[in-house]
Structure 1
Amino acid sequence: MRKMKEPVIGQPGPPPAQGEEEHLSLALANSAITLPGGHTVDLLAAPAQANDWLAERGLAPVDAGMREMCAAQLRALREQVRSLFAARAEGVPALPAAVSAVNDAMTRVPTAPLLRWDDETGPHRATVHPTTAIVDHALASLAADAADLLTGPDADRLTACGSAPCNRYLLRHGRRHWCSTRCGDRARAARAYARRTAAH
């Protein structure tokens, strides 16, 4: 029997939550999923998984050859983004370290094409993406998206899934505040059960 709290590797998570297609930072925040029964699914648990996750979203080539250090940076940014989303959804001040982490990720890469000068082409401007900078560029994109989400018109719709133990975030659509049909069904069943037991 598997021990509780062990991350489940290779198990697919639930379908994307509302808003993940528009905001990659929401998909990042939701890449660690708490399931009923004390199990978790971490879509970034291993370097190959992190590479696949970035490649599926156009943030890295399929053959980037992600290393554990890079995957760890991605998981670290995820925790800071989750912290900021929680603060925004709950209407409480954000942790300064989380704000700094997002700003640091955004400013780690040059956004302007830099001046280059070589013997063949002479002076020209180019944005260089060496292999070592792939993860930095991905982190910058994800951090910028988080900043856009938190400061844009969708910020008021950002909420945590209302079905315990789910830990995902979504953009609320109408009154719906569950990240998936499965979570909505579970929340309704729990409410019905609570009503039945209260009546006895």
Structure 2
Amino acid sequence: MQEIAEPPLPPAPGADAHLALDFANTAIALPGGQYVDLLGTPPAVNRWLTAHNLAPENADVQEMCATQLRALREHVRSLFAARIAAAPALPAAVDALNSALTSVPTAALLRWDANGPYRATPCPTNQILEHALATISASAADLLTSEEAETLTACDATPCNRYLLRHGRRHWCSTRCGDRVRAARAYARRTQSAAG
């Protein structure tokens, strides 16, 4: 997959309200066999995390962390696909989300220094990735268990692999994909008319 700084398509419907939906759509299949991976390199991962307020600009994400994030993305995509198909989820995908959800304490911990006791939420810079994984996993779990999950669908435009929340009859993630679907339908009608 090629790495670029800006996504080639606007966010899919629902991605602005659901971090996990935007995250799942960071691997983009385009016409002509092209693929864009917005998490393809450590600097790209750092940009994405920073843009979503999950890491500071200077987080210095390494390849091992980028690999973990891409692995979580595949698990989230797998869970979305299972939900859409009303099929059983892969246990490994559920386990991966639950592992990320439980790896970061959510309660402010008790700390004690020379000034006495205080509460602090743990998220030092060496735990940025765990925090990001947990936040994304919580977003995925929230979406999958919400009423909106009924509107979760895959884009109908071939070869697009993005997910969206369907509004009305719209089943594509962008105007570009919608235009491709309409053009393919028109071509099929013309071909059928010419053959008949």
TM-score (norm: length of structure 1): 0.94
Please tell me whether residue 153 in structure 1 is matched to residue 142 in structure 2.
Answer: no
Q: 1:55 aligns with which of 50, 58, 78?
A: 50
Matched letter for residue 81 of structure 1: V
Alignment match, 1:132: 126
Measured in 2, the distance between the counterparts of 1:129 and 1:29 equals 24
- Letter paired with 2:21: L
> Aligned AA for 2:134?
A
Structure 2 counterpart of 1:14, from 9, 34, 38: 9
Matches within 5 A, 1:74-153: 74-118=69-113, 120-153=114-147
Q: What residue is the counterpart of 2:64 in the other structure?
A: 69
Q: Distance in 1 between matches of 2:111 and 2:168?
A: 51
Q: Within 2, Cα distance between the matches of 1:106 and 1:26?
A: 17
1:196 counterpart SS class:
helix
Deviation at 1:155, TM superposition (A): 0.5
Structure 1 unmatched runs, 5+: 1-6
TM-score normalized by the length of structure 2: 0.96
Corresponding residue for residue 178 of structure 1: 172
Q: What is the number of residues matched between the two proteins? A: 193
Deviation at 1:124, TM superposition (A): 1.8
Query: Contact 2:76 / 2:93 at 8 angstroms: preserved in 1?
Result: yes
Identity in percent: 64
Specify the alignment match of 2:183 in structure 1.
189
